[in-house]
Chains A and B, each alone.
Chain A
Amino acid sequence: MDNILTNIELLTTLAPTINLELIANGLLVGAIFALIAYGMALVWGVMDIINVAQGAFVILGGYVSFYFVNAMAQVAPNTPGILWIVVSMPIAAAAVALFSLIVFKLVIERILDRDLFISLLATFGIELVMQQAMNQIFTAEERVIDAHLPTFAFLDYMVNIPGSRLLGAVLGIVAAVGIVALVRYSRFGRAIRATAQNPRAARIMGIDTNRVYAMTFALNGAICGIAGSIVAFVYVLHPFQGLVYTLRSFAIVILAGIGNIAGVIFAALGLGVYENYSGFVLGPEFQDGMVFIIVPITLLVRAWIMRRKRQYLK
């Protein structure tokens, strides 16, 4: 309790500039989460499947990127690492997308019209198998990519923006904008949206919905691949680390409301800042808890608003 008061004192009177650092870093972290949550929202909205394995897909993408960057550093030691990091992103995206297609054919296709509980169980199973497989193949050693980027410091070193996080956020936003444009303006995107709105009608109009589902799942894989290569140079890769990303994106999608894409981005940015503050004030051990407490609160508030509306309509 004393700790909490001291922490608040730090924020308000002793060193108010660190507020800026907490906010800036929270936004940068949020941009990465936004990308992952966007993929989850897509699969959830279109296929009605909550992909519990989302985080494992992210970590898999990270490993692809890690091994590619390392291999390139051996082949061409004099090129800047940052080049290979950027090049590794589409490669990781393609690899995880392909992997997602295989998972789709093996498992997801069979559970498409089953209830939510079955899909939770199935994707949870996929996550467990992926974790252990990655543990066997890549070992449990922590892996990181060092981007060798400078940190930008402001206000007498009190506010620091790490270059790697900035790059991660920028690449994340570029990828997100590209994917949003794809879903909104391309023919394929229109098919996705039509299927999400009404699969039966879409089928009558000649859309091969099964193919749309497969492509949606692969698109999510590509998103996870990109996010994974960002995680590799901003955070730490570990076979069992995926849960962090699954749970964060779940909370973000709930917070935004399913089908609300713009909401996902705002929710993710907000959650990043909120998480940094709760970690600072209450201590890092409450950071996860403070994220998940958002889920029931959002659901309660939403239920309350809906009830109010019904009363209003009456």
Chain B
Amino acid sequence: MKHALFAGAVTLASAALAFGASAETITLGAAVSQSGKYSTNGMHTINGYNMAVELINARGGVKVGGKTYKLAVKYYDDESTPARGAELAERLIKQDGVKFLLGPYSSGLTKAIAPVTEKYGVPMVEANGASRSLFTNGYKYLFAVLSTSEQYLASSVALAAEMAKAEGRDPASLKVAGAFENDPFSQDIRAGVLDDAKKYGMQIVVDDKLPKNLSDMTPTMTKVKALKPDLFVVSGHSKGAATATRQMAEQNVYVPMVAMTHCDSADIIGKFGKAAEGILCAAQWAPSLTYRDDLFGSAADFAKAFKEKYGYAPPYQAAESAAAVEVFANAFERAGSLDQAKVRDALAATDMQTFYGNVKFDKTGKNIAKPMVLFQVQDGQLKVVAPTKWAEAKVVYPRKRN
């Protein structure tokens, strides 16, 4: 947290200086959570943005129509509340005269800010709002570099089907259990899983909604134990991942394949050790992937540089945030102008590879060029097991009994 405050303060100061010093600066605005429940992930977001901005400036900045500009970000703290986020976006645009916005952290905040940027025709590249409902409103100025949420765990259904086939079983004979938090993000994930499970003809035996104030999953665990599914999918942010990992072990719940979101940010390996073994984790990005670009080099190079600078390994939230700045810089150069409509068109035409993955937007502004990654906890480490094209290890199936 101190990091975030400090980083925020430094950038605010440097942004203010830049304002006074020269007109050769493109200022990007961002309302990101520095207090409230998203403050940890808000800090990852800010660090990702700062990392990219500083590196681009160190390399000479952005060339737009023969002129070179430095980048700067003006931050506000949205306090993890959507209404405050919308207010601050308005303030950035109208009072501070910011012409381009970077996204906040979380789908909820992005959903609050998008109508504002849309109203003023301000292009926004966001990296931390994955809800698919963001892309059904016909927004023209919203671009997202990350995969949308219904894709998060759908890949685990495909993987389960693949494993069943390898064993000579019909995928349609598989039983799926799911527990999803009652928020837009997790319910999107649920929709993705259910759609794919139906495609294979699998049977959904448990479909529980977890409350926001989750403290106990015992009833769900008891149900899963009684119904013996082949795949158990959990999505409840970090708290859900931690609670599910702990209670699965404590209640002796054994399912051959278990997939979750947020198990890296919940650090289930560090917290529970052996109990986490064999769990599959969905992620937007992994340092071991083979994507690369000219700015950061490979994904591993980014991870190394980030760790040197901020003292911790970058979670995907930081990586995708850095990628959003790269996409913006790329679009400025291609647009050859700082006219908002031209930059918007350049963004829409983006087709590039970054260290974070390929970026190409469809008409609704979501990135369709990058698949989700599935990790598995193997011997206390996260190993990429799917998609098979970038996999570094083979999936262990069925999961070992503790």
* Given A18-B226, A141-B40, A284-B210, CB of A132 within 8 Å of CB of B35: yes
Inside 8 A of A22's CB, which chain B residues have their CB? 218-219, 222
Q: In whole angstroms, how far apart are the Cα atoms of A78 and B135 in the complex?
A: 54
**In whole Å, how far is A65's beta carbon from the nearest beta carbon of chain B?**
15
The interface bits of chain A over 10-51 (1 if a CB of B lies within 8 angstroms of the residue's CB, else 0) are 100011001001100100010000000000000000000000
Inside 8 A of A285's CB, which chain B residues have their CB? 182, 208-211
Those of A132-162 within 8 Å (CB) of chain B: 132, 135-137, 139-142, 144, 146, 151, 153, 157-158, 160, 162
Residue from B218, B239, B271 in contact with A238 in the complex, judged by beta carbons closer than 8 Å: B239
How many of chain A's residues touch chain B, expressed as a range? 35 or more
Q: Count contacts on B: residues with CB < 8 A to the other chain.
A: 43
**In whole Å, how far is A70's beta carbon from the nearest beta carbon of chain B?**
11
Which A-B residue pairs are the 3 nearest by beta carbons? Answer: A279-B219, A162-B250, A285-B209
- B225 touches A (CB below 8 Å): yes
Taking Cβ atoms with an 8 Å cutoff, the residues of A that contact B are 3, 7, 10, 14-15, 18, 21-22, 25, 29, 132, 135-137, 139-142, 144, 146, 151, 153, 157-158, 160, 162, 164-165, 235-236, 238-241, 243-244, 276-277, 279-280, 283-285, 287-288
19 pairs from A and B in contact (CB 8 Å cutoff) = A7-B223, A10-B227, A22-B218, A22-B219, A25-B218, A29-B218, A135-B36, A136-B35, A140-B40, A146-B272, A162-B251, A238-B239, A241-B239, A279-B216, A279-B219, A280-B222, A284-B179, A284-B208, A288-B211
Residue from B1, B41, B211 in contact with A136 in the complex, judged by beta carbons closer than 8 Å: B1
**In whole Å, how far is B396's beta carbon from the nearest beta carbon of chain A?**
22
Q: In whole angstroms, how far apart are the Cα atoms of A260 and B254 in the complex?
A: 42
Inside 8 A of A280's CB, which chain B residues have their CB? 219, 222-223
Contact B225 A158 (CB under 8 A): yes
Contact A164 B250 (CB under 8 A): yes
* Given A136-B35, A284-B179, CB of A146 within 8 Å of CB of B271: yes
Q: In whole angstroms, how far apart are the Cα atoms of A285 and B182 in the complex?
A: 7
Contact B216 A235 (CB under 8 A): yes
- B18 touches A (CB below 8 Å): no
Contact B35 A287 (CB under 8 A): no
Residue from A7, A146, A235 in contact with B273 in the complex, judged by beta carbons closer than 8 Å: A146
- B217 touches A (CB below 8 Å): yes
- B243 touches A (CB below 8 Å): yes
Closest to A28 in B: B218
Residue from B209, B246, B251, B266 in contact with A284 in the complex, judged by beta carbons closer than 8 Å: B209
Residue from B182, B218, B271 in contact with A276 in the complex, judged by beta carbons closer than 8 Å: B218
Q: A162-B247, A284-B211 are in contact. List 19 more A-B contacts (CB 8 A).
A: A29-B218, A132-B35, A140-B37, A140-B38, A140-B41, A141-B238, A144-B246, A151-B250, A151-B251, A158-B225, A160-B250, A162-B250, A236-B215, A239-B37, A276-B219, A277-B219, A279-B220, A280-B219, A280-B223
- B54 touches A (CB below 8 Å): no
Closest to A19 in B: B222
- B242 touches A (CB below 8 Å): yes
Question: How many contacts A-B (CB < 8 Å)?
Answer: 117
- B95 touches A (CB below 8 Å): no
Inside 8 A of A288's CB, which chain B residues have their CB? 211, 213
Taking Cβ atoms with an 8 Å cutoff, the residues of B that contact A are 1, 35-41, 179, 182, 207-211, 213-220, 222-223, 225-227, 238-239, 242-243, 246-247, 249-252, 266-267, 271-273
Inside 8 A of A240's CB, which chain B residues have their CB? 37
Residue from B214, B219, B238, B252 in contact with A151 in the complex, judged by beta carbons closer than 8 Å: B252
Inside 8 A of A153's CB, which chain B residues have their CB? 252
Q: In whole angstroms, how far apart are the Cα atoms of A3 and B178 in the complex?
A: 13
Inside 8 A of B207's CB, which chain A residues have their CB? 3
Contact A140 B226 (CB under 8 A): no
Inside 8 A of B215's CB, which chain A residues have their CB? 235-236, 241, 244
Q: In whole angstroms, how far apart are the Cα atoms of A244 and B243 in the complex?
A: 15
Q: In whole angstroms, how far apart are the Cα atoms of A141 and B37 in the complex?
A: 9
Q: In whole angstroms, how far apart are the Cα atoms of A7 and B222 in the complex?
A: 11
Contact A284 B242 (CB under 8 A): no
Interface centre among B209, B223, B225, B243 (most CB of A within 10 A): B223
**In whole Å, how far is A289's beta carbon from the nearest beta carbon of chain B?**
9
Q: In whole angstroms, how far apart are the Cα atoms of A140 and B38 in the complex?
A: 7
Contact B218 A279 (CB under 8 A): yes
Inside 8 A of B271's CB, which chain A residues have their CB? 142, 144, 146
Inside 8 A of A287's CB, which chain B residues have their CB? 211, 219
**In whole Å, how far is A107's beta carbon from the nearest beta carbon of chain B?**
22
Inside 8 A of A140's CB, which chain B residues have their CB? 37-41
Inside 8 A of A276's CB, which chain B residues have their CB? 218-219
Inside 8 A of A137's CB, which chain B residues have their CB? 1
Inside 8 A of B267's CB, which chain A residues have their CB? 141
Residue from B216, B220, B243, B252 in contact with A160 in the complex, judged by beta carbons closer than 8 Å: B252
Contact B223 A135 (CB under 8 A): no
Interface centre among A7, A25, A137 (most CB of B within 10 A): A25
Contact B225 A18 (CB under 8 A): yes
Interface centre among B207, B210, B226 (most CB of A within 10 A): B226
Closest to B227 in A: A10
Interface centre among B1, B38, B219, B225 (most CB of A within 10 A): B219
